[in-house]
Amino acid sequence: MRTPLIAANFKMNKTVTEAINYFNEFKKLTADVKDVEIVVATPNILLYPLVNIVKGTNINLSAENVHWADNGAFTGETSAVTLKNMGVNYTVLGHSERRQMFCETNETVNKRLHNALKNGVKVIFCIGETLSEREENKTIQKVTSQITEGLKDITIEMMKDIAIAYEPIWAIGTGVTASSQQAQEVHAEIRKILNSLFNEEVAQSTRVLYGGSVKPANVKELMAQDDIDGALVGGASLKPESFIQIVKFK
């Protein structure tokens, strides 16, 4: 009932030329993909030259962040209005790198989320605990507060345009993947949180992606878990021939 969503997160990688070459290659590889939604988040500056390349393909482009205002005196920020006008329909929000290095908080993520949705930009909303939080058994407490505060004043209707990405920080870019059981446990808890905040339908229909060292070798086992509906892939998305294997996990 939940269509798998496989998303790439390029982070701050690739020049315009490299990105164009990637997409020209990748779109050929995705031509026969069915029943999987494909999203590729690139640095916001790369999106404009890519919009025309993905037209008519099954690849959705995504920003990596958007601001909470439509426009104004916010030097260096990206507007959801501009993204939508360009033909970009997704953004990642609340990635742990933004939370850890750029002072992003649950409150600012929530404000950005409202503005993205208001402008018709769907959101991949990232959450996850640090290694010390996991070791202190605070994982569920952490994701509960991230979800509760990050989704403040979000309605049941708005949840249709939000996917949650559970990314344990200790598994991002480290080569250490959460075991499929560890991931499944947290994903099941996330559905309980969604049930208590919204209702059972939202809990069952919201896609919950796993992120953190996902690669061709482990995607199948992760995707076999009941509550894992997709992946947010950093390092292993940077080469089309690697990312396509993750997209074609079945």
Give catalytic residue positions.
Answer: 95, 167
**Residue 17 neighbours by CB distance under 10 Å:** 9
Q: What is the dihedral of CA 38, 194, 188, 34, to 10 degrees?
A: -20
Residue 1 CA, distance from chain mean position: 19
Based on the shown chain and the rule CB under 6 A, indicate whether residue 211 belongs to the binding site for ligand PGA.
yes
Q: What mask, x for binding ligand PGA by CB under 6 A, covers residues 219 to 238?
A: -------------xxxxx--
Residues 1-20 that bind ligand PGA (CB under 6 A): 9
Closest CB 193 distance from ligand PGA, rounded Å? 21
Cβ proximity to ligand PGA, 14 vs 152, nearer residue = 14
Q: According to CB under 6 A, which residues from 169 to 208 bind ligand PGA? A: 172-173
Structure tokens at 44: 């916001």
One-letter amino acid at 70 equals D
Smallest gap, in angstroms, from Cβ of residue 212 to ligand PGA? 5
Q: Is 62 in the site for ligand PGA (CB under 6 A)?
A: no
Q: How far is CA 39 from CA 15, 63, 182, 243, in A?
A: 19, 10, 25, 11
Contact call for residue 123 and ligand PGA (CB under 6 A): no
> Which residues does residue 209 pair with via DSSP β-bridges, in sequence order?
165, 230
Q: How far is the CB of 46 from ligand PGA (least distance, A)?
A: 17
Residue nearest to ligand PGA (CB): 234
Distance in angstroms (rounded) separating the CA atoms of residues 185 and 46: 36
Among 212, 219, 228, 244, contact with ligand PGA (rule: CB under 6 A) = 212
The DSSP secondary-structure symbol of 154 reads -
* Residue 178 CB-density burial (10 A; 0-12 exposed, 13-18 middle, 19+ buried): buried
Residues at the site binding ligand PGA, with contacts judged by CB under 6 A: 9, 167, 172-173, 211-214, 232-236
